[in-house]
């Protein structure tokens, strides 16, 4: 015989005694399991990177819901103790978007922080010889990164890629000749009749911007006013451009390849009348002036003669009544330019590396005219760049860095006609009825009454010879940096040895 005890509380019935005992036991067991899980501690390690895969030093790592807070070390690494079954890390850095990472079941995490556009103005990455927060900088400084520069389409030089990407930086280019497209760069316009070009430093050493390929650039900073360029003295009077190339990082090798193809077309030229329409308009103008000058009848061209300019009956009439479209004669419809880049970045705790190879080929918009002289005339440009940046962690406080860069460019252009404006001058000011570019017997056209009037650009391109300029450049940097933080926090000493070698060879082909 079993007895059950029921307890009435208000209007609800209570549980039976065995059921209450079972319920209490279950609750105690669940509580003990939760307490056990909550008290479990383990270590989670990780590394923090920015969008360029560079490690971030001093990033704040906090355990969500706890008071544990720490910073990443000089390698962007951290190690934090977490408890609980579902811990979350909160990683933040000035100028970056704060990110939460769930580390449940993980012992190591890689965190990639993205730039926060609303906070980018709070930090200046490069200012002369270091890094500063914007509130401590009174000078005018602007900066862009590789991601922005690589989005610039249709350009092959770093100078041209800066166009429109940096406020206060003015670039002008007066030619589209292959190998000569690098623009003149001015900061806040021209302030003197003398050389107004800014001081350009590549990885801290004064060098030309023309041979730096876009894919190897990490950041470009422009110091625009006197307060920002004061440390450079008079050399920075026209502004300073600081170019920092990419570097390796600890981790597996990351291989990146890109190929860009650009189709170039001639710029829009002024519309011009052909010989037929020109003489038709000329006759109309004479007719309108007959009342004022009756002798103008002598200048009227008969219609049957005008028709021969557009509808010649044979080769003789075509040569006697030329009707030349110089734009169609001189220029191709389009030309192709290629740029291929392959780079590898990675490293270990001892060495970090970034290696890049960049090939560029510029096509020529001018047509090729055969002069039977044994050489190919015209314009062209090919360039190969190779870069290797290495960082050796010799000791925990000693870093040895090497930057090795090599470039070989081959540029072709007409030899005698050094002024390239004459080569396309006919497209602007040579009349269509003066002469043919080349006649059936192989002779080149010229204006018989006055040989100095009218430019035969086709003849200049074919007979001016060919000049080939080969430029080889090698630059090396050897940098040793020793941290003296054991004596004074943040103090370090740095030594830099740079060697630049430039070789230029010119070869000309000319057969009369």
Are 162 and 231 members of one domain? yes
Q: Is 118 inside a domain boundary?
A: no
pLDDT tens, residue by residue, 21-61? 655 656 655 455 444 444 567 888 999 998 878 888 878 89
Q: Is 3 inside a domain boundary?
A: no
Give the pairing type, strands 60-63 and 88-92. Answer: antiparallel
Last residue of a domain, one of 112, 144, 166: 112
Q: Is 352 inside a domain boundary?
A: yes
pLDDT tens, residue by residue, 466-482? 888 999 999 999 999 99
Are 370 and 470 members of one domain? yes
pTM here is 0.67
Give the C-alpha separation, 240 to 188, whole Å.
11
Are 64 and 152 members of one domain? no
Q: Is 266 inside a domain boundary?
A: no
Are 502 and 441 members of one domain? yes
Residue 86, domain extent: 42-112
Are 488 and 355 members of one domain? yes
Residue 117: its pLDDT value, please? Answer: 52
> Is residue 39 classed exposed, middle or buried when 0-12, 13-18 and 19+ CB atoms within 10 A define those classes?
exposed
Are 360 and 501 members of one domain? yes
Give the C-alpha separation, 328 to 502, whole Å.
40
pLDDT band at 293 (very low <50, low <70, confident <90, very high): confident
Output 419 or 129, whichever has higher pLDDT. 419
Q: Is 117 inside a domain boundary?
A: no
Are 363 and 441 members of one domain? yes
Give the pairing type, strands 123-124 and 184-187. Answer: unpaired
The DSSP result for 392-435, as a single string, is: EEEETTEEEEEEEEEEEEEEEE-SS---GGGTTTHHHHS-TTS-
Q: Is 237 inside a domain boundary?
A: yes
**Which of the listed ranges 18-22, 354-358, 445-449 does the model predict with the highest average pLDDT?**
354-358
Kindly report the CATH number assigned to the domain that includes residue 188: 2.170.130.10
Query: Into how many domains does the chain fold?
Result: 5
pLDDT band at 8 (very low <50, low <70, confident <90, very high): very low
Give the C-alpha separation, 45 to 66, whole Å.
17
Kindly report the CATH number assigned to the domain that includes residue 77: 2.60.40.1120
Average pLDDT value for residue range 4-10: 38
Q: Which helix (H) or strand (E) holds 306?
A: helix 303-310
> In whole angstroms, what separates CA 465 from the centre of its chain?
34
Are 410 and 440 members of one domain? yes
The residues near 503 (Cβ < 8 Å, ≥ 6 apart) are 471, 472, 473
208 neighbors 182 (Cβ within 8 angstroms): no
296 Rama sector, left if φ>0, alpha if ψ -120 to 50, beta otherwise: alpha
Q: Is 270 inside a domain boundary?
A: no
Are 379 and 296 members of one domain? no
Are 285 and 367 members of one domain? no
Are 74 and 132 members of one domain? no
């Amino acid at each position: 015989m079993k007895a059950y005890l029921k307890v009435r509380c208000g209007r609800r019935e209570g549980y039976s005694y065995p059921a209450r005992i079972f319920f209490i036991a279950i609750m105690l067991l669940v509580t003990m399991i939760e307490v056990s899980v909550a008290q479990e501690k383990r270590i989670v390690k990780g590394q923090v990177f920015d969008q360029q895969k560079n490690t971030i030093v001093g990033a704040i790592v906090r355990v969500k819901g706890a008071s544990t807070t720490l910073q990443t070390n000089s390698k962007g690494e951290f190690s934090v103790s977490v408890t609980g079954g579902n811990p979350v890390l909160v990683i933040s850095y000035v100028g970056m978007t704060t990110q939460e990472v769930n580390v449940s079941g993980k012992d190591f995490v890689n965190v990639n922080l993205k730039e926060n556009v609303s906070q980018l103005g709070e930090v200046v990455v490069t200012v002369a010889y270091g890094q500063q927060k914007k509130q401590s900088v009174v000078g005018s400084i602007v900066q862009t990164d590789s991601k922005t520069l690589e989005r610039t389409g249709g350009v092959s030089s770093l100078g041209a890629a800066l166009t429109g990407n940096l406020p206060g930086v003015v670039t002008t280019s007066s030619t589209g000749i292959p190998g000569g497209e690098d623009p003149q760069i001015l900061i806040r316009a021209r302030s003197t009749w003398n050389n107004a070009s800014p001081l350009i430093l590549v990885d801290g050493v004064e060098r030309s911007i023309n041979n730096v390929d876009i894919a190897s650039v990490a950041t470009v900073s422009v110091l625009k006013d006197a307060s920002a360029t004061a440390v450079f003295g008079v050399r920075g009077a026209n502004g300073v451009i600081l170019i920092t190339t990419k570097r390796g990082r600890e981790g597996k090798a990351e291989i990146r390849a890109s190929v860009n193809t650009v189709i170039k077309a001639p710029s829009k030229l002024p519309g011009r009348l052909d010989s037929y329409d020109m003489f038709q308009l000329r006759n109309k103008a004479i007719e309108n002036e007959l009342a004022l000058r009756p002798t103008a009848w002598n200048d009227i061209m008969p219609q049957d003669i005008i028709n021969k300019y557009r509808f010649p009956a044979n080769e003789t009439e075509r040569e006697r009544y030329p009707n030349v479209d110089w734009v169609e004669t001189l220029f191709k419809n389009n030309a192709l330019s290629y740029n291929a880049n392959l780079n590898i970045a990675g490293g270990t705790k001892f060495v970090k590396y970034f290696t890049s190879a960049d090939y560029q080929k510029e096509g020529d918009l001018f047509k090729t005219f055969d002069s039977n002289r044994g050489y190919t005339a015209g314009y062209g440009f090919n360039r190969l760049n190779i870069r290797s940046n290495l960082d050796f962690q010799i000791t925990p406080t000693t870093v040895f860095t090497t930057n090795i860069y090599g470039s070989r460019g081959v540029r072709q252009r007409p030899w005698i006609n050094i002024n390239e404006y004459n080569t396309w001058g006919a497209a602007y000011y040579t009349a269509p009825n003066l002469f043919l570019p080349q006649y059936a017997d192989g002779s080149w056209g010229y204006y018989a009454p006055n040989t100095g009037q009218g430019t035969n650009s086709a003849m200049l391109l074919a007979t001016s010879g060919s000049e080939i300029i080969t430029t080889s450049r090698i630059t090396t940097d050897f940098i040793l940096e020793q941290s003296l933080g054991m004596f004074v926090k943040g103090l370090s000493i740095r030594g830099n040895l740079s060697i630049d070698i430039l070789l230029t060879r010119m070869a000309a082909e000319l057969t009369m």
